[in-house]
Amino acid sequence: MRLYGHDKAVARFQAARASGALHHAWLLTGPRGVGKARFARMAALRVLADAAGPPVTAAGLETPDTHPIARLLEAGSHPDFRHLQREPNEKGDALRRNIKVKQVRKLAELFAVSPSMSPWRAVVIDSVDDLEPSGANALLKMLEEPPANSIFFLVSHAPGRLLPTIRSRCRRLDFGTLDDDAMTSALAEALPDVPAVERAQLVPLAGGSVGRAMSFAELELEPLQAEALAIMRSGDPDNSRRSRLASSLALKAAAPRYAAFLELVPTLVAREATSSSGAQRERALKAYEQTRQTVALAPRLSLDPAATCFQLGTILASVAGSGRGG
pLDDT category, 324, cuts 50, 70, 90?
A: very low
Angstrom distance (rounded) from CA 232 to CA 189: 33
Q: Which CATH fold topology does 7-174 show?
A: Rossmann fold (3.40.50)
Averaged pLDDT for residues 124-128: 97
Q: How confident is the model at residue 55 (pLDDT cuts 50, 70, 90)?
A: very high
3-state secondary structure of 236: coil
User: Which pairs with CB-CB distance under 8 Å and at least 24 residues apart come from 101-106?
Assistant: 101/131, 101/132, 101/134, 101/135, 101/138, 103/135, 104/131, 104/135, 104/138, 104/139, 104/142, 105/138
Rounded average pLDDT over 274-295:
94
The answer on pLDDT for 323 being more than 60 is: no
User: What pLDDT, in 10s, does the model give residues 75-107?
Assistant: 999 999 999 999 998 888 789 999 999 999 999
User: Residue 68 carries which side chain, given as an amino acid letter?
Assistant: P
pLDDT at 219 over 90: no
Pairing of strands 25-29, 150-156: parallel
Band (pLDDT 50/70/90 cuts) for residue 325 is very low
Per-residue pLDDT reduced to its tens digit, 221-263: 888 989 999 999 999 999 999 999 999 999 889 999 999 999 8
